[in-house]
Amino acid sequence: MADLYLTNSLTGKKEKFEAINPPDVGIYTCGPTVYDYPTIGNWRTYTLSDVLLRVLKYLGYKPIFYMNLTDVGHFTGDNLGDADIGEDRMEKAAKKQGKSAWDIAEFYIKDFLESYEKLNLTRPEKFTRATEYIKEQIELVEKIHSKGYAYKIDDGIYFDVQAYETAGNVYGELSTLQKIKEGARVEPNLQKKNPRDFALWKFSPTGVKRHMEWDSPWGVGFPGWHIECSAMSMKYLGEQFDIHAGGEDLKSTHHPNEVAQSEAATGKHPFVRYWVHGAFLTVDGKRMGKSEGNAYTLYDVEAKNIDPLALRYFYFSGHYKQQINFTWDALAAAQTSLNKLQGIVTDYRDSRGRTTLSVDKLAKVNFYREKFEKAIADDLNMPQALSVFWEVVKANIPDYDKYDLIESFDQVLGLQLSKFTISNSQIPKEVQELVKQRENSRRGRRYKEADEIRRKIYDLGFKIEDLARGVKVKKK
């Protein structure tokens, strides 16, 4: 296995990755709270996890991957730095839409899984849904409480940060605590011993019947937002595992709290060896947000007849640790580049007669293979990896060998280049574009629209065949 280097948020440094139990690598990623459609910023985070998985596989590791789906206990106050205040996002969405929180969860989970496929993201061993692990969460809270790291107040069971620190532990290694403290002052809970303390279990308000609530040793209620990830990740990956991924917004509260409650329960440090956080996406130079009117979703992308895989390509324009600025022009350029690659790769595949490579050309093939591997192993440097992709296109080596290289590289990029069977030399550009539009419609499950495009292609003198690994276009 080749050496892999990752920026570890736990230390703030780029470090050589060393698995606990090689070649196995345990990975957990924080997935969505299923009360709304994920934004394209959220999808950048999930694409980061996918690339990490693909790179590990490419380098010879065997990743064991889990992603959670939060369907209870995530409060609106996390935007202010205190995830225990405000409203439960699930209950709030249910009230707004006149449905139950369970209905809201089912709808958005189904939508998330369909969109997940459109971006060609690798499915985990299991999507762990918080409401399906209430027993494990209660047991974990009991364990933390029995060790003296939790206390009860009127609205729930809270983690005692001071007790944790007094025992010799360090709280907040992943981030500064200023945001937590500021958030706690917005709407302070005066019963909390410390502004940094956070809910492990919340009680249902007196006289209020929530859609989602359960009996517990302390009273009827529901789990806090943070406890689910500790309970579910440890159930499947053990009390210590290799990599935890997520967006950089989780560094300020959610992930520090995850570390504290897990290590308090087990007495083992570190809970996770490598923390990998992806940077935010800006839109037209501004922060993304609903209040800004620019919290675009995958549906906004598809509405402009852009392939979701073009969004994936766009993400590779910047390193995951750096903010990248989204514009519709930049996404259109990504679509153009993707279309060009699809056509080029199809022509390479359709070339016939592999020749024996000269020593010089064999050296070039190996050079590009090594250069690509070096890029992805250097902290998942996808902009550099994409650059190598295009270098291969321009290289003086036989087309069939270019195809082999690109197909190998696409195991990491996940652009599904080998699925396309349109030959630039034989099919008019107008028809090629229609074929790509139809593929986009099919990915979006807009089958009526896809059938209409098929008829347009037929009227232009071509017919299309759907194959197991893509589509084939030929004259009638």
Please report the pLDDT score of residue 419 as a whole number.
75
User: Quick check: 401 and 366 in contact, CB under 8 A?
Assistant: no
304 is in an annotated binding site: no
User: Quick check: 237 and 28 in contact, CB under 8 A?
Assistant: yes
Which residues of the chain, if any, have pLDDT below 50? 177-186, 424-425
pLDDT tens digit sequence for 333-366: 999 999 889 888 888 877 755 666 677 778 889 9
> Does the N-terminal peptide bond of residue 32 adopt cis geometry, omega within 30 degrees of 0?
no
30 is in an annotated binding site: yes
74 is in an annotated binding site: no
Please report the pLDDT score of residue 184 as a whole number.
44
Which segments within 217-271 are labelled E, that is strand? Answer: 221-223, 241-247
Please report the pLDDT score of residue 353 as a whole number.
58
- Sign for the CA dihedral angle at 99, 104, 106, 107 comes to positive
As its CATH architecture, domain 5-278 has 3-Layer(aba) Sandwich (3.40)
Please report the pLDDT score of residue 99 as a whole number.
95
Task: Cite the residue boundaries of each domain of the chain with CATH code 1.20.120.
Answer: 283-421
As its CATH architecture, domain 283-421 has Up-down Bundle (1.20)
Please report the pLDDT score of residue 155 as a whole number.
93
391 is in an annotated binding site: no
Give backbone dihedrals phi and psi of 371, rounded to 5 degrees, phi first.
Answer: -65, -40
Model-level pTM? 0.88
Name the CA dihedral angle for 329, 320, 4, 239, rounded to a multiple of 10 degrees: -140
User: If DSSP codes are grouped into helix, strand and coil, which group holds residue 158?
Assistant: strand
Please report the pLDDT score of residue 186 as a whole number.
45
Please report the pLDDT score of residue 347 as a whole number.
80
- Sign for the CA dihedral angle at 334, 335, 341, 344 comes to negative
What is the distance between the alpha carbons of residues 437 and 443, in angstroms, rounded to a whole number? 10
Task: Cite the residue boundaries of each domain of the chain with CATH code 3.40.50.620.
Answer: 5-278
106 is in an annotated binding site: no
